[in-house]
Amino acid sequence: MIAADGRGALLVSPPMTTSDAAGAAGATAAGYTADASDAGYTSGASAAGNTADTSDAGYTAGASAAGNTADATAAGNSAGANAANTAGEEGVYTAGEKETLHRSLDRHRDAVLWKLEGLDDEQLRRPMTPTGTSLLGLVKHLASVEYGWFVETFGREAEPLWFDPYTSEDLRIAPDETTARITAFYGRARAAADGVIAELSLDAPGRPPWRDHTVSLRWVLVHMIEETARHAGHMDIVRELIDGATGDHPRVSGGS
């Protein structure tokens, strides 16, 4: 059964398991027991039964740059963050708490964009489940929640939205919403979120406009790792249904 929460996120029961080591490590580092339903913003695009793994110990987030389309590049991939995440680089596995959480989030963000590669606009917007889940719709939703959780929650100004994020409009792609427009939107949201992450401490308090309690930046980082990994897992399945392509991240020669 699917229902919408106060910000337009779709909640699916049962929840999907879409991340392993990276999500767990982030939650542990934050001292937080991950509870997707309590997080209040776990939308599920009805890909029931998903067990896709969207990160592993050998993931090279920087590999997203190896073949990302111009749209994905426009989506705001941080070259510095991607390069820093290259597997085997000194310090990646022993970084501090904030850097570890941010890198985990970036790995899943990069996987989201990678799942778009090699498909045309029709395929990217094609509904692949009875509830209308599409690859491009999931990216649009993730852009909306980056703005909501990181920007609005901590009192920053988000760009005006042309859709209502408190309804399922943030998961639906209108005829005039092109791939370039949605990936650029995701890039701007990601850049704005990164600005907040860089500026604030993990203990900094924020208050989501749609909720009645205060959250810390630490909590939001853990939640957004969960959120992004969850939808990256949905995208694993949707992509496989479209053209049979599988995998949780680009593989590089000699890597895993």
- Cα–Cα distance between 128 and 134 in angstroms, integer? 6
Tokens 């039964």 belong to 49
pLDDT at position 114, please? 97
Domain residue ranges in the chain:
2-243
| Predicted local distance difference test score (pLDDT) of residue 58 | 36
With CA atoms as reference, report the closest residue to 58 among 102, 109, 83, 21: 21
Residue 65: predicted pLDDT: 35
Q: According to the model, what pLDDT value does residue 92 have?
A: 80
pTM of the model: 0.67
Strands 2-4 and 205-206: unpaired
CATH of 2-243, one of 1.20.120.450, 3.40.50.2300, 1.10.3720.10, 3.40.50.920: 1.20.120.450
- Distance, in Å, from the CA atom of 156 to the CA atom of 194, rounded to the nearest integer, reads 12
* 113 neighbors 143 (Cβ within 8 angstroms): no
The rounded distance, in Å, linking the Cα atoms of 21 and 55 is: 7
Q: What is the pLDDT of residue 19?
A: 39
Q: Which residues of the chain are modeled with pLDDT < 70?
A: 1-90, 251-256
Residue 94 tokens, joined: 């022993």
Task: Say what angle helices 179-199 and 97-114 make with each other, to 10 degrees.
Answer: 180
